[in-house]
Amino acid sequence: MEAFDVVLQGGVTYTIFVDPFQVGVDFDLGVLDENGNLVAQDTSTAPNAVCCVTPRWTGPFRLVVKSARGLSNYQIRVVP
């Protein structure tokens, strides 16, 4: 499990992608607010993980990436 801290703007919809560099893996993604509440998650069996979130306030959020199957480097993209 790896965690990455980001600041997201309230009222803006973000799509967050975790794209693996290898095939045959399965990444899961959780988005936590500053209080540790889970606000979005992707636990599908697809190799990549995708979450959409629209924060109610501007502040710090934590992106938690877990490997459900396999190992690979990956890229995280946060797209408003």
pLDDT at 42: 96
CA 78 – CA 53 distance, rounded (Å): 10
3-class secondary-structure state, position 42: strand
Average pLDDT of the segment spanning 1-26: 95
Instruction: For 15-60, write each residue's pLDDT tens digit.
Output: 999 999 998 899 999 999 999 999 999 989 888 999 999 999 999 9
Centroid of chain to Cα 70:
18
Q: How far is Cα 35 from Cα 60, in angstroms, rounded to an integer? A: 9
Q: Report domain extents, the chain.
A: 2-79
> How confident is the model over 2-11, as a mean pLDDT?
97
- For the domain made up of 2-79, the CATH class stated in words is mainly beta
Question: For the purposes of burial, counting CB atoms within 10 Å of the CB of 57, is it exposed (0-12), middle (13-18) or buried (19 or more)?
Answer: exposed
Q: What pLDDT does 9 receive?
A: 98
Note the pLDDT of residue 10. Answer: 97
pTM, full prediction: 0.92
pLDDT of residue 63: 98
